[in-house]
Amino acid sequence: MTAGNLWVVDNIGVAPTNAWSIDPFGHSSTMAFLLKRMGFRNMVIQRTHYEVKKSLASKKSLEFIWRQNWDSKNTTDILCHMMPFYFYDIPHTCGPEPAVCCQFDFWRIPGYSNVLPCPWGRLPEAITDKNIEEKAAMLLDQYRKKSTLYKTNMLLVPLGDDFRYSSAAEAEAQFSNYQKLFDFINANSRMKMNVNFGTLEDYFRALHGAGVTDFPALSGDFFAYADKEDDYWSGYYVTRPFYKALDRLLEETLRAANILFFFTQLKCNSTFGRLLLKEFRQNLVLATENLALFQHHDGITGTATNHVVADYANRMHSSLVGLQKSMLVSVELLLSNQKKQNANWFELEQSRSHFTLLPVKKVINLTANHMHRVTIFNPLAMIVDHVMVLLVDSPLFCVFDQKMRSIKSQVAPEWTKESVFTGRHRAQWETHLPALGFETYFLMESNSYGFCQKAVLATLTISENGIACPEPYQCTTFPNSKDIEISTRTQTLGFAHSGFMKWIKDSQTQEKIRVEEEMLYYSTQGGAYVFSPLREADPLVEKGGLLIMAQGPIMEELHLVPKSKFGGKPIMRSARIFKMTSIVEMEYYVELTGRVFDNKEVIVRFKTGIENKRTFFTDSNGFQAVARQTYDKIPLQGNYYPMSSLACLQG
């Protein structure tokens, strides 16, 4: 949004003050807040629940002041105009009767174009002296009916649709016929109406100029959106999740790259530095544009056609590669005292070769008498305690901090989704990362160093159904008598022998909270936009999965490969807790390739004992929390809300 508005100011010389947002599938309060902060005074929205439209229309409140929930001083107010009808095309904007309004879409006149004719059987015709009085009366009747839904005597009637005005002929067809109608109406005082072409700015200027001050103030957002009956547009929340994840990765990389670019500017004054900054700036601009492009309401939602999605993804991937290249060189310059690049100082911890592929982690080959440098950049403006996990080819190593002090570390085997040992290992150690800064660690093969804290081998507990114990680890099998537990000094997590979580216990108070984890799926028929479950969710897993537990001084983990109802092993789940924090990390891997999950939505459900009175909270664009309420009066799909960053229950 910032990039787009700056482009308009820089290239056109206009600072927009009116927002036009008629096709996103629901509207968040955070967008209203951001628009206000960017200097917008007014906004127009369209896709909101049909019952919300009906309720607001009955109170003549389709124009309202949108105010943030937490705003007690009215500093976030923005005037919002909600369009009242089903859609934003011409048949649904002049008034409540699309069969009549479609007759005023003059590009549909037979013989004018290949646009689909009006589906209501009554075709438009060119305005002539013979029909102008009849047509003007028809149009004014629709305008008057629509005007009863608003407080003022001014009416906004959009005139357009998707893929319109692509030719001068269409513009001429629309404007010439409408101008005849306008001239006739304005010249006849008995019609008591003045009609003109105008922009959003014209409309809102007239509205504010009329001195209307009694618009109602509303807070909250407009999710979930339904356009008719039980068609709730909550399906797009999870459509094409792979590319939603790529968007997140590019977004966080772009932020980190912008910070590195600023630091590099402060240091670089050499010829090479200036060349680096020029290329870096170009990569930042391109990444910003490509990320912004994907925020389109058919981009980030996953609802575009296949070839358009491929173009989006290719652009994001190319930008990601460009940023990573510039960031590597930038880090080399920032951490060295030299004024030119040193070849191959750093490699990425993980990278991907194509926009359709998952990232591949770099494996550190631990050779004798060779020290590997690991540098971590923290782009956050706060200190971060983090457990670093890297792949190594040997369990025999030591980790040193940047003062060359040997520090505690742990090593565990890496498994495939079939729970087969890959021959590689996961090196794990605790890090303390400075705000907006770097921290460097060193890895060395332990036999090459006289004395150091060798990585502690994780203690493994495995299922009895054929998992081989990898060397040099010690393995035991799970006892049948009690729940499986992983713990830290602050909490213990309990799991059933199926591998799914049952409870969390506070180590200090010994209070045990029920948190029962399930993996299920909905059979649906809704497509990319609409979530339309055929019935309640069905269990996705059966008895007989594989379990591996790894425990050590840094972290404890329970790795689960459940037996899928559909055969194969398309699902993995790892539950982790860390000794340095109270975080519980749950990682899910679902292989959506092939046809196994066609017309199915996979969900994870946690059943708790929290008495939340059917209220829960989700984030709004990662900016604020919004209270949600579940209702029996609306179908299941209407009780699903977007959650881009967080959700919480409060008892």
Active site residues: 23
Hey, what are 275's tokens? Answer: 């060349």
Q: What is the dihedral of CA 408, 409, 410, 411, to 10 degrees?
A: -150
Contact (Cβ atoms closer than 8 angstroms) between residue 470 and residue 421: yes
Report the distance separating Cα 291 and Cα 264, nearest Å: 23
Tell me how crowded residue 626 is: count the other CB atoms within 10 A of its CB.
21
Outline where 59-121 has alpha helix (H).
98-101
> Identity (one letter) of the amino acid at 197?
F
Write out the H or E segment, with its range, that includes residue 627.
strand 624-629
Residue 648's nearest CA partner among 601, 624, 602, 616 is: 616
Report how far residue 318's alpha carbon sits from residue 313's, in angstroms, rounded to the nearest whole number.
8
Cα(47)–Cα(26) distance, rounded to whole angstroms?
A: 6
- Cα 329 to chain centroid distance, Å, stands at 30
Query: Cis link prior to 224 (omega < 30° from 0)?
Result: yes
The dihedral formed by the CA atoms of 449, 450, 455 and 459, expressed in degrees to the nearest 10: 130
- Residue 186 to residues 128, 136, 146, 182, 191, Cα–Cα distance (Å): 17, 10, 19, 6, 8
CA separation, residue 396 to residues 412, 429, 498, 650 (Å): 11, 14, 33, 46
Question: How far apart, in whole angstroms, are the C-alpha atoms of residue 351 and residue 239?
Answer: 24
- Number of other CB atoms surrounding residue 651 within 10 Å: 9
**Coil, strand or helix at 229:** coil
Helices (H) then strands (E): counts for the chain? 10, 33
Give yes or no for a contact between 297 and 304, defined as CB atoms under 8 angstroms apart: no
CB 406 within 8 A of CB 376: no
How far is C-alpha 333 from the geometric centre of its chain's CA atoms? 33
User: CA-CA distance, 233 to 485, in Å (whole number)?
Assistant: 40
Q: Which helix (H) or strand (E) holds 80?
A: strand 78-82
By residue count, the chain amounts to 651
Neighbouring residues of 13: CB distance < 8 A, sequence distance ≥ 6 = none
DSSP label at residue 316: H
In single-letter form, the type of residue at position 168 comes to A
Q: How many whole angstroms separate alpha carbon 561 and alpha carbon 184? A: 74
Is 95:141 a contact under the CB 8 Å cutoff?
yes
